[in-house]
A and B are shown apart, each in its own frame.
Chain A
Amino acid sequence: MRFVTALIFALFPVSAFAVDVPVTNYMLDNGMEVVVVEDRRAPVITHMVWYKVGSADEPPGKSGIAHYLEHLMFKGTTTRDVGEFSDIVAANGGSENAFTSFDYTGYFQRLASDRLELVMELEADRMVNLDIPASEFEPELGVVLAERNQRTDSNPGSLLTEQRRAVEFINHPYGRPIIGWRSEIEALTPQDVMDFYKAHYAPNNAILVVAGDVDPEEVLRLAEIYYGVIPANPEIKDRVRPAEPPRLAAARLSYEDPRFTQPYLIRSYPAPVRESGDQRAAAAATMLAQVLGGSGVTSVLGKSLVLEQDIALAASSWHWDQSYDPQTLAFYAAPKAGVSLEDMEAALDAAILNFMETGVDPEQLDRIKAQIRASLVYALDSQNGLARSFGEALTQDLTVEDVLAWPEILQSITEDEIMAAARDIFDPSKSTTSYALQPETN
Chain B
Amino acid sequence: MRFLFAAFLSVLALPLWAQVNVKPYTSPGGIEAWFVQEPSIPFVAIDVAFRGGASLDPEGKYGAVEFVMAMLEEGTGDLDAVAFKKEQERLGARFSFSSNRDAVEISAQILNETRDASIDLLHRAMVEPRFDDDAFARVRAQFESGYRSDLEDPGTIAGVAMAALAFPGHPYGRPLEGRLEEFQTISIDDLRAAHKGALAKDRLLVSVVGDISEDDLGVMLDTLFDGLPETGAPMPERAEYALSGGVTVIDFDSPQSIAIFAQEGISFDDPDFFPAFVMNRVLGGGGLTSRLATEIREKRGLTYGVGSYLASFDYGDLYQGSVASANEDIAEAIALVRSEWERLATEGITAEELDAAQRFLTGSYPLRFDGNGRIAGVLTGMQLNRLPIEYMDTRNDKVNAVTLADVSRVADRLLRSEDLHFVVVGQPEGLATQ
Chain A contacts to B: CB under 8 angstroms: 2-3, 5, 39-44, 74, 79, 83, 86-88, 90-95, 110-115, 117-118, 121, 125, 138-147, 149-151, 153-154, 212, 258-262, 295-298, 303, 306-307, 310, 313-314, 334, 336-337, 366-368, 370-371, 373-375, 377-378, 380-384
Q: What are 29 A-B interface contacts by the 8 Å CB criterion?
A: A42-B369, A44-B370, A90-B359, A92-B12, A93-B362, A93-B363, A93-B365, A95-B367, A111-B364, A112-B16, A118-B4, A121-B1, A143-B303, A146-B324, A146-B326, A146-B329, A147-B304, A149-B304, A150-B305, A154-B324, A258-B152, A297-B85, A310-B138, A337-B145, A373-B92, A374-B92, A378-B43, A381-B45, A383-B370
In the bound complex, residues from chain B placing their C-beta under 8 Å from that of A146 are 256, 301-304, 324-326, 329
Chain B contacts to A: CB under 8 angstroms: 1-2, 4-5, 8-9, 11-12, 16-17, 19-20, 38, 40-43, 45, 81-82, 85-86, 89-94, 109, 111, 138, 141-142, 144-145, 148-149, 151-154, 253-256, 286-289, 297-305, 324-326, 329, 356, 359-367, 369-373
Using CB atoms, name the residue of chain A closest to B281.
Answer: A90
Using CB atoms, name the residue of chain A closest to B155.
Answer: A154
In the bound complex, residues from chain A placing their C-beta under 8 Å from that of B89 are 295, 298, 367-368, 370-371
Contact indicator B256/A154 (Cβ below 8 Å): yes
Using CB atoms, name the residue of chain A closest to B18.
Answer: A43
A433 to chain B, nearest CB (A): 21
CA distance A138 to B360 in the complex (A): 29
Using CB atoms, name the residue of chain B closest to A378.
Answer: B109
Contact indicator A261/B92 (Cβ below 8 Å): no
Using CB atoms, name the residue of chain A closest to B110.
Answer: A374
Contact indicator B360/A91 (Cβ below 8 Å): yes
In the bound complex, residues from chain B placing their C-beta under 8 Å from that of A381 are 41, 43, 45, 109, 371-373
9 closest Cβ contacts across the A-B interface? A93-B363, A142-B301, A374-B92, A139-B301, A147-B304, A261-B148, A367-B89, A259-B152, A146-B304
In the bound complex, residues from chain A placing their C-beta under 8 Å from that of B148 are 261-262
Contact indicator B359/A93 (Cβ below 8 Å): yes
In the bound complex, residues from chain A placing their C-beta under 8 Å from that of B153 are 259
For B255, give its contact among A110, A147, A154 (CB under 8 Å). Answer: A154
Contact indicator A93/B360 (Cβ below 8 Å): yes
Contact indicator A298/B360 (Cβ below 8 Å): no
Using CB atoms, name the residue of chain A closest to B2.
Answer: A79
Known: A261-B148, A262-B145. A87 touches B356 (CB 8 A): yes
In the bound complex, residues from chain B placing their C-beta under 8 Å from that of A86 are 287-289
Residue of A40, A95, A212 with highest tally of chain B CB at under 10 A: A95
CA distance A212 to B109 in the complex (A): 21
Known: A91-B9, A377-B43, A383-B371. A117 touches B360 (CB 8 A): no
CA distance A373 to B287 in the complex (A): 37
Using CB atoms, name the residue of chain B closest to A39.
Answer: B370
For B256, give its contact among A150, A374, A382 (CB under 8 Å). Answer: A150
In the bound complex, residues from chain A placing their C-beta under 8 Å from that of B86 are 298, 367
CA distance A272 to B318 in the complex (A): 50
For A261, give its contact among B149, B254, B298 (CB under 8 Å). Answer: B149
In the bound complex, residues from chain A placing their C-beta under 8 Å from that of B326 are 145-146, 149
Known: A139-B300, A261-B151, A262-B149. A42 touches B4 (CB 8 A): no
Contact indicator B301/A149 (Cβ below 8 Å): no
Known: A79-B1, A262-B148, A377-B43. A43 touches B298 (CB 8 A): no
Contact indicator A142/B302 (Cβ below 8 Å): yes
In the bound complex, residues from chain B placing their C-beta under 8 Å from that of A375 are 92
Known: A83-B289, A93-B360, A146-B256. A44 touches B45 (CB 8 A): no
For B364, give its contact among A93, A145, A212 (CB under 8 Å). Answer: A93
Using CB atoms, name the residue of chain B closest to A90.
Answer: B360
Contact indicator A313/B300 (Cβ below 8 Å): no
Using CB atoms, name the residue of chain B closest to A295.
Answer: B89
Using CB atoms, name the residue of chain A closest to B325.
Answer: A146
For B300, give its contact among A5, A111, A142, A150 (CB under 8 Å). Answer: A142
Known: A41-B38, A139-B298, A383-B371. A150 touches B85 (CB 8 A): no
Contact indicator A91/B359 (Cβ below 8 Å): yes
Residue of A3, A115, A143 with highest tally of chain B CB at under 10 A: A143
In the bound complex, residues from chain B placing their C-beta under 8 Å from that of A41 are 19, 38, 40, 370-371
Known: A143-B304, A306-B138. A374 touches B111 (CB 8 A): yes
Contact indicator A150/B142 (Cβ below 8 Å): no
For B17, give its contact among A43, A79, A110, A368 (CB under 8 Å). Answer: A43
CA distance A111 to B361 in the complex (A): 12
